[in-house]
Amino acid sequence: MKLIRPIRPDDLDALVHMAQTAGAGFTSLPPDKDFLAKKIALSVQSFDTDVKTAGHERYMFVLEDSNTGEVGGCCAIEAACGLDEPFYNYHVGVTVHANRELGVYNRIPTLHLSNDYTATSVLCSLYLRPEFRSGGAGRLLSKCRFLFMGNFPARFSEKVIAEMRGVSDEKGQSPFWEGLGRHFFSIDYEAAEHIVGMGNKAFIAELMPPHPIYSVLLPPEAQAVMGRVHPQTAPALHLLEQEGFRYQNYVDIFDGGPTVEAPIMDIRSIRKSQLLPCQITDASSGNTHLIANDRLHGFRCALAQLTPGENSVSISAELAQALGVQARESVRVVAL
């Protein structure tokens, strides 16, 4: 059984391996062992913190094969971004140049350096190893976070965003970066992403132009990838769109990838989930559901074939053991 649980310190080697194999664009988890150890420590601390409102917490989860103990993926939620350092992106606005006498009217997309998403919650660090990409593991890894947020909404902001990986080639080169960022940073795309991933964001404000940038002045290759996702990220974007996330004209300042957003209580898996007492039976059947216990430290989430009733849901003994629940304890379920 594939199971979601909070990350532990002994998952460090598995996390380093995933960071090393994820490739360019996996900004939030650079392949640095000491840095990733600190990420794990922050997650452990976040689960132990008594939270009244969203702050510096960062909750990280792994996907584990319960039969072998092998870790096959990771994901995380940053409770509120930009509280210590500015959280940057480009807002794609429109500038109109018109002259009635000449009969000229031009609407020109314009990039504005923005901190508009400050203090929003961020879905991040989603990665699934290729050998685990079957049997609904991608859906489980992406959507488990919503059941956790549904259990503990006070720990998160009213708006949730996700920065999607932008287009880059097999060599890790980004057309958007080559057309814009390189002119101001004079370093390779992967080097810039690594610096940001390590938490050194001040150089963005120091080196990026503060004035609006007309996108028509960028090379055609850079214009073509604005707001587009990397082909490997398209399935993750589709899952978020199913949950109600929408692109609202914000893109990453490095690779031009889109940022999508949704109000937390409008996210489908939160809005439609039910908190029900469970009954343990010999077997369970029905449609595919996401199911999680309602615990903080011992959070567990899995996929299962279920038929929830109005007042309870029947689950198998195997699933109950995996979730760590007993009869009549509450579980949160939502149909996929």
Q: Which residues are known catalytic residues? A: 230
Cβ neighbors of 189 (< 8 A, separation 6 or more) are 24, 168, 172, 173, 174, 177, 178, 181, 182, 254, 255
Sequence-distant (6+) residues with CB within 8 A of 85 are 199, 201, 202
Tell me whether strands 89-99 and 246-251 are parallel, antiparallel or unpaired. Answer: antiparallel
Residue corresponding to tokens 């840095």 = 35
Which residues are CB-contacts of 169 (< 8 A; sequence separation ≥ 6)? none
3-state helix, strand, coil in the chain (%, to 5): 35, 30, 35
Which residue, among 73, 58, 59, 60, has the nearest Cα to 3 in the 3D structure? Answer: 73
Element (H, E) at 281: strand 274-281
In this structure, what token pair is assigned to residue 45? 């601390």
Enumerate residues 6+ apart whose C-beta is below 8 A from 193. 24, 25, 27, 30, 254, 255
DSSP label at residue 181: I
